[in-house]
Structure 1
Amino acid sequence: MADQRVPVRPYRRRVVDDFLDDFQPESPAITIAGPKGVGKTATALRRAASVMSFDLPADRARLDADPTLLTALDYPVLVDEWQRKPESWDYVRRAVDAGAPAGAYLLTCSATAPRGVTVHSGAGRFIDVRMRPLSFFERDVEFPTVSMSALLRGSSEIGGETDVGLAEYVEEMTASGFPDIRRLSPRVRRRRLEAYVDNIVQREFAEHGYPVRRPATLRAWLRAYAAATSTTTSYNDILDAATAGENDKPSRTTTTVYRDVLAQLWQLDPVEAWLPSRNHLDRLTQAPKHHLADPALAAVLLGLDAEQLMRGTASAADLRDGAVLGHLFEHLVTLSVLVYAEAAEAQVRHLRTKGGDHEVDLIVERRDGRVLALEVKLKATPAEKDFRHLRWLKEQLGDDLVDAAVVTTGQHAYRRNQDGIAVVPLALLGP
């Protein structure tokens, strides 16, 4: 009889593995949080001797029958989707307080605890790490030659060449960073992404304690949020775009719930405004830049695929502040930078002065307050005007600007002689 077992796919190492390599041997409990489908369980399984998966009714029943079970299993113990059995958090917390060894527990979650459920703080006991969809580096499209960690340390070495061009970037914008989805053919992949959105609207809100009375309105709000990708569009304008022509608009309270629950499901990944700890700058806006968990979700909500984007049939009206393709490229760059910054223990922000006189797409801030500034341009060769905001910021910050770069779709990574600003294709930028 033929072997009917499903073949096990080879594991592709993730950037978060470096973090876990460093922290698991010295930490009794680590939580890995992120949206469904990013690969949290696959990563944690490689590091676990025992597994309790609370997606499974049988494992939930086992814990009900024996609340001491999590302390009786072989370490390391993976507590998968702990929020489905919230008391498991407290069991682990008590085990840590009682002296659980380093590396004893890995907990994963695709959402925070449901409404009405209170868990005690894990402060001082748990280390948290955010896991996102695959960065460009993790997709194994190209081998990077420029390290963001090195840029943050002040390394001046820039170089490398790639054949990756616009077509490959557009493919990656729509292919998604969800490992199981991106392996599929484009047609099946699109349907899976549509089903992913359907599941959020039809099931996950209700499972989180917020049944949706008007699914079409939530879906329209999600589409309007996707149309605001990589912009600081106000939430009022997003609501107006979602309900254009409707007299019976949802209340602000309702749309605040949309935003809050999507954030709790890790489906929103906004980039907050940078407010420097030193008094270098004033008149900065505080509006966040909008991003979903993955640019492919934005594309599917807008009804766009790679072919449409390459043909240029994506209407600029889909976004209020520029062409959709450029904003989706910035989303892809931002996702990658967020992954690399997590590994470097850095924070990612954006800068915009009131009135929009100066903008810098991404500010990567080290723990000591010094920053790496990144501009994102959907072009192979940036024009001279594309460097002006970075030059302005260098004048403002002086030595607190550790480096600056323009991220492009070009072929070559290099450093400019006239101002020292780097030019780095996204394919050549890695952790």
Structure 2
Amino acid sequence: MCANGSVASVTYVRRIIDDTLDDLQPHLRALAIFGPKSVGKTATALQRASSVFDLSETSQRQIVAADPSVLVAARGPVLVDEWQRLPEVWDAVKRAVDAGSPPGHFLIAGSSAPRGAVIHSGAGRIVPLRMRPLSVAERGIESPTVSLKAMLDGERELQGRTRLTLTDYVEEITASGLPALRGLPVRARNAELDAYVENVVQREFPEQGYPVRRPATLRGWLAAYAAATATTTSYSKILDAATPGAPDKPAKSTTISYRDALTSLWLLDPVPAWTPARNHLDRLGQAPKHMLADPALAVRLLGLDASGLLRGEQGNRQLVEGSMLGRLFETLTAVSLATYAEACDARLGHLRTQNGNREVDLVVVRPDGRVLAVEVKLASSVEDADVTHLHWLKERIGDDLVDAVVVTAGPDAYRRRDGIGVVPLALLGP
């Protein structure tokens, strides 16, 4: 597509982030959409752009590098796609905003700037939004009947029934939330996911300024990180699992560079530890809960497939006890909840005490600090033992707990006699 050309109409299914863009774009001079490759950033931005500068094309980079003012002169809204291929364009947009560009003029899409690029933070000028792989609600497999926003606002009624079973959730875990991959036959989809990882190792890392001297070691680290999905396993243990028995393990600085590069590529989506706004709790762990941006990538890195997950296989690198399928189901839940939470200006965290005796899988935090606590159970029913930590949290923080629910793979949404909600993942939406 040429710069300044009109955007052709295509079949497009709205994403949850579109509602946020509807609210913000008319009033903000510059918005940036970040996220991993193939997540749908460009497709979403194209629905709103009148002019497009695709900086993955050499000719477009040369034009903008020679005269950044073309971005201001173009008919808005202007999409600057793959901006990280010409990092100085970020500062050009910042200067245009400072000079008084009209509201809604700039949309920026891409990854973070390569290591070593010196750019302005964009604070106060360019508002960032994160786009994740398709949430369960965006996949069109069920009509949600339970709204996260309503629960955060104090709504108590829970209702709905889904036809989805464990087998369906396993299919969603392995099918990927990357839109272009979901319709492919299984073998083709797996080949695409494998190529995605290979592209990260062989191309994306060098482009981000992180040359890879030992690709096999990086792949091993990625697989070990995948095995640590939905845990707070230390990075030293992940490194040990990635290089078992190796006498010349990579330096700590090398593995930190792996983490930093994968973060800049938006392939890691860890859930941060929740720190209460008020001093209700002490001795809380601070480690993030490890998660890849898409559970399907973890499945491929571990050498698993749908049938293997249903048989209870753990993959070739098991760092912790417990069900790999259960932890992947929690990842699918977390990716979806993060999308729903951001749509209502909330954020996602997790709670774990330092000694590990108390844990709440996920915590959705409202802007005022009050929270919705979430346990994730790969089961069709919820027992009293499954809600012990939710009751403990209620005792500790009182009215700061807006609600507590268990997200399951079962059929029905309802509220238990003790007040704890039970919601099938397929019925949960923004």
TM-score range, shorter chain: over 0.9
Q: Quick one: structure 1 residues 168 and 9, their matched pair in 2 at CA, closer, same or farther if it must change by over 3 Å?
A: farther
Moved more, 341-350 or 222-231: 341-350
SS at match of 2:25: helix
What is the correspondence of 1:219-298 to structure 2 with a 5 Å cutoff?
219-298=219-298
Measured in 2, the distance between the counterparts of 1:9 and 1:302 equals 36
1:25 corresponds to 2:26: yes
Q: Which residue of 1 aligns with 2:86?
A: 85
Q: Which residue of 1 aligns with 2:210?
A: 210
Matched-pair contact (CA < 8 Å) for 2:53–2:81: yes
1:158 corresponds to 2:158: yes
- Deviation of the 1:313 alpha carbon: 3.5
User: What are the Cα deviations for residues 2-50 of structure 1, in whole angstroms up to 9, with x where unaligned?
Assistant: xxxxx98621110100100000011010000000010000000000000
Q: Which residue of 2 aligns with 1:181?
A: 181
Measured in 1, the distance between the counterparts of 2:27 and 2:68 equals 26
- Deviation of the 1:100 alpha carbon: 0.9
Q: Which residue of 2 aligns with 1:363?
A: 363
Q: Which residue of 1 aligns with 2:4?
A: none
The one-letter amino acid of 2:193's match is L
Q: Quick one: structure 1 residues 24 and 246, their matched pair in 2 at CA, closer, same or farther if it must change by over 3 Å?
A: same
- Deviation of the 1:127 alpha carbon: 1.1
Report how many aligned residue pairs link the two structures: 423
What is the correspondence of 1:21-170 to structure 2 with a 5 Å cutoff?
21-109=22-110, 111-170=111-170
Measured in 2, the distance between the counterparts of 1:179 and 1:316 equals 28
User: What are the Cα deviations for residues 53-80 of structure 1, in whole angstroms up to 9, with x where unaligned?
Assistant: 1011111111133221101100100011
Measured in 1, the distance between the counterparts of 2:295 and 2:176 equals 7
What is the correspondence of 1:184-203 to structure 2 with a 5 Å cutoff?
184-203=184-203
The one-letter amino acid of 1:193's match is L
The one-letter amino acid of 2:171's match is E
Measured in 2, the distance between the counterparts of 1:409 and 1:116 equals 45
Moved more, 323-332 or 309-318: 309-318
- Deviation of the 1:383 alpha carbon: 1.4
Matched-pair contact (CA < 8 Å) for 2:154–2:402: yes
- Deviation of the 1:422 alpha carbon: 0.3
SS at match of 2:379: coil
The one-letter amino acid of 1:425's match is P
The one-letter amino acid of 1:48's match is A
Q: Which residue of 1 aligns with 2:423?
A: 424
What is the correspondence of 1:273-422 to structure 2 with a 5 Å cutoff?
273-314=273-314, 318-417=318-417, 419-422=418-421
Kindly report the root-mean-square deviation, in angstroms, between the aligned alpha carbons of the 2 structures.
1.3
Matched-pair contact (CA < 8 Å) for 2:361–2:375: yes
Matched-pair contact (CA < 8 Å) for 1:315–1:323: no
SS at match of 1:350: strand
Q: Which residue of 1 aligns with 2:3?
A: none
Matched-pair contact (CA < 8 Å) for 1:135–1:339: yes
- Deviation of the 1:93 alpha carbon: 1.0
Q: Quick one: structure 1 residues 9 and 409, their matched pair in 2 at CA, closer, same or farther if it must change by over 3 Å?
A: farther
Measured in 1, the distance between the counterparts of 2:216 and 2:270 equals 23
Measured in 1, the distance between the counterparts of 2:364 and 2:130 equals 16
With structure 2 as the length reference, what TM-score do the two structures score?
A: 0.96
Measured in 2, the distance between the counterparts of 1:40 and 1:73 equals 21
SS at match of 1:203: helix
Measured in 1, the distance between the counterparts of 2:9 and 2:306 equals 29
Measured in 2, the distance between the counterparts of 1:64 and 1:259 equals 31
Matched-pair contact (CA < 8 Å) for 2:302–2:315: no
Q: Quick one: structure 1 residues 93 and 355, their matched pair in 2 at CA, closer, same or farther if it must change by over 3 Å?
A: same
User: What are the Cα deviations for residues 133-170 of structure 1, in whole angstroms up to 9, with x where unaligned?
Assistant: 00000001100000001111111111000001101100
With structure 1 as the length reference, what TM-score do the two structures score?
A: 0.96
Matched-pair contact (CA < 8 Å) for 1:316–1:322: no
Q: Quick one: structure 1 residues 316 and 416, their matched pair in 2 at CA, closer, same or farther if it must change by over 3 Å?
A: farther
SS at match of 1:25: coil
Q: Which residue of 2 aligns with 1:4?
A: none
Measured in 2, the distance between the counterparts of 1:319 and 1:240 equals 10
Measured in 1, the distance between the counterparts of 2:186 and 2:307 equals 10
- Deviation of the 1:95 alpha carbon: 1.1
The one-letter amino acid of 1:344's match is C
Moved more, 81-90 or 58-67: 58-67
Measured in 1, the distance between the counterparts of 2:184 and 2:309 equals 19
- Deviation of the 1:317 alpha carbon: 6.5
SS at match of 2:345: coil
Measured in 1, the distance between the counterparts of 2:96 and 2:40 equals 26
User: What are the Cα deviations for residues 209-237 of structure 1, in whole angstroms up to 9, with x where unaligned?
Assistant: 11100000000000000000000100000
1:15 corresponds to 2:16: yes
The one-letter amino acid of 1:429's match is L
Could you list the runs of 4 or more consecutive aligned residues of structure 1 that deviate by over 6 angstroms after TM superposition? Answer: none
The one-letter amino acid of 1:421's match is I
Measured in 2, the distance between the counterparts of 1:17 and 1:301 equals 31
Measured in 1, the distance between the counterparts of 2:225 and 2:314 equals 16
